[in-house]
Amino acid sequence: METHVMDQGMLVSGIILAASFVLIFTETLHGFHRVKVAMAGAAVMLVVGQAYGFYSPEQAFEAVDWNVVFLLGSMMAIVAIMINSGGFEVLAANIGKIAKGRQFMLLALLGTAVTVISLLLDNVTTVVIFGPLIVLICQKMRVSAIPYLMAAALLSDTGGVATLVGDPPNLMIGSAFDIAFMPFAYKMFPIVFVAWIATLFFMKYLFKKELAIVPEGKFEDSIPYKDKSLWNKSLSILGLMVILFVIHNTIHWEPWMVAGTGLILLTILAKEIEFEDVMKNMTHEIPLLMFFVALFMIVGGVEGSKFLEYLGQFIVPFLIDPLTGEVIQENFMMTCIALMWVAAVMSAAIDNIPFTAAMIPIIASLELVGVNIAALCWCLAIGVGMGGNGTHIGSTANVYIVTVSEKLAKTTGNPDMAITPLKWAQKGLPVMLLTLVICTIIMYLFFDYYSLTLEVSHAREESRLECCQRR
């Protein structure tokens, strides 16, 4: 293994990375939006990288994982078109009718609907759709919206871990390590399903006081579609996309090509929809895409300076026996489970996207020295996904739900309707701990299964072998 010595380029890139992340994590204190901070960090990294000779504009462009950017952007545009159909409102109204005033039934149905949609769309987009709808349903039934709003965030955060497109960090991990849609689902769905069921019934206990109240109102009114034809067309396109996601490795399509194809087909079928209307519905999503691009550029600069490889070399002696060159299995399992918990704690305290972006190159550096990184990938995805439940700022979905509750508190004049950091911690933190304990037990019992070598493309395997041979 090549030994790296700290130089000025490494040190400066590490400082820029740390400063950018600290400013991103503390945006509520200084008032600068994370997008502005990330863009400034990317610009500084590029200038410094050129000065020290480890980064160039071409490398910055190549550092961006455009697969993630185009996939997210396409899925967001599809949702923006679907919103015009009014189908989501109809779905919410039907759920309210089916529940027939039974609060836990309503919570379970809404939670299931949000989760199912978050398996195909990212959880941020899902709660953006359902947040206002949940408020309308609860106002109609005259019950507290807090259990349902928190259920939407917690269950979508948990359920979204199951698929490649369900959570932005999943996209980043899958794209970085060339993990296809179905192999990702095979590994993650069973463990996530158990955690999701446990979360749902645990919430029945956490909100037993609120859910015990008999609703004074009922959701009986029928809500018409704004454009039923558009809704049906959208569902057909989504169905086709699911099939293509499943077989995309077989037909040699990248996930972004599947999403892009779905978007093109939908824009053709929904020709009456104006482009300006779609852009209006994406006002919250475009900054997220810009944030991703800038973040990739920052991390790309750190990779270029070899700083992350420098850090990774201190982990290798703990994982690999220096005499035999073999991986120490006991230490490796401990490392994987520790990564899950560290990722969860970090994601509870900060946003999971920057943490994932920082961890991916470190894991990749371990792969280059012969470590089977499969279990590390799964544990990272579980940790950043489940950990987001712990605090109100743990995921972008949580932040949005809190914003919805604060708006509700202002409009109703009832401050109790706002989800405060303390209220979230009282419910979300126990959920985070419960799911992590469950995932830890399953990971311990079935570690051999989660340690099976990742199914990667032929090109990636050749690249890995070439790097190993150079050691």
The count of structural domains within the chain is 1
Residue 42 maps to a domain: yes
Residue 28 maps to a domain: yes
Burial class (CB in 10 A: 0-12, 13-18, 19+), 265: middle
295 lies in which domain range?
A: 1-63+285-304
**Cα–Cα distance between 255 and 246 in angstroms, integer?**
10
Q: Tens place of pLDDT for every residue, the chain, 471 residues?
A: 456 677 888 899 989 988 987 887 677 678 787 788 889 999 999 999 999 999 999 999 988 878 778 877 887 788 788 878 888 778 777 877 787 778 898 899 888 988 888 887 777 777 877 887 888 788 878 888 899 999 999 998 898 899 888 888 898 898 888 888 888 999 999 999 999 999 999 999 999 988 888 877 666 666 788 889 888 998 899 888 888 877 877 788 887 888 889 989 988 888 777 777 677 767 666 777 888 788 889 888 887 888 867 776 666 666 666 666 666 677 888 888 988 998 898 878 766 777 787 788 888 877 877 788 899 999 999 999 999 888 877 777 787 788 788 888 888 888 888 888 888 889 999 999 999 999 999 999 999 999 888 765 444 445 444 544 444
Backbone angles phi, psi at 327, to 5 degrees: -70, 135
Residue 35 maps to a domain: yes
**Cα–Cα distance between 46 and 353 in angstroms, integer?**
21
- Please provide the average confidence, as pLDDT, over all residues in the chain: 82
The first and second tokens of residue 419, run together, are 């989800």
Is the torsion defined by CA of 288, 402, 438, 159 positive or negative?
A: negative
- Which residues have a Cβ under 8 Å from the Cβ of 45 and sit 6 or more positions away? 13, 16, 17, 55, 60, 297, 298, 301, 302
The alpha-helical segments, DSSP class H, found in 248-373 are 255-269, 275-280, 285-304, 307-312, 316-319, 329-349, 352-368
Backbone angles phi, psi at 56, to 5 degrees: -135, 165
List the one residue out of 81, 75, 73 whose CA is nearest residue 267. 81
- Give per-residue pLDDT as tens, 242-293: 888 778 777 888 878 888 899 899 888 887 777 776 777 676 667 778 887 8
Contact 149, 405 (CB under 8 A): yes
Q: What are the DSSP calls for 40-67, one per residue?
A: HHHHHHHHHHHHHTS--HHHHHHHS-HH
The first and second tokens of residue 396, run together, are 């972008």
Residue 230 maps to a domain: no
**Coil, strand or helix at 457:** coil
Residue 209 maps to a domain: no
Measuring CA to CA, how many Å separate 207 from each of 213, 250, 426, 469? 11, 45, 11, 57
Q: What is the number of residues in the chain?
A: 471
Helix (H) or strand (E) holding 328, with range, is none
Contact 385, 157 (CB under 8 A): yes
Measuring CA to CA, how many Å separate 60 from each of 38, 54, 296? 14, 11, 8
Residue 436 maps to a domain: no
Residue 17 maps to a domain: yes
**Cα–Cα distance between 392 and 395 in angstroms, integer?**
7
pTM recorded for the entire structure: 0.73
Q: How many helices (H) and strands (E) does the chain have?
A: 25, 0
The first and second tokens of residue 176, run together, are 């970085």
Residue 87 maps to a domain: no
CA angle 139, 101, 116 (to 5 degrees): 80
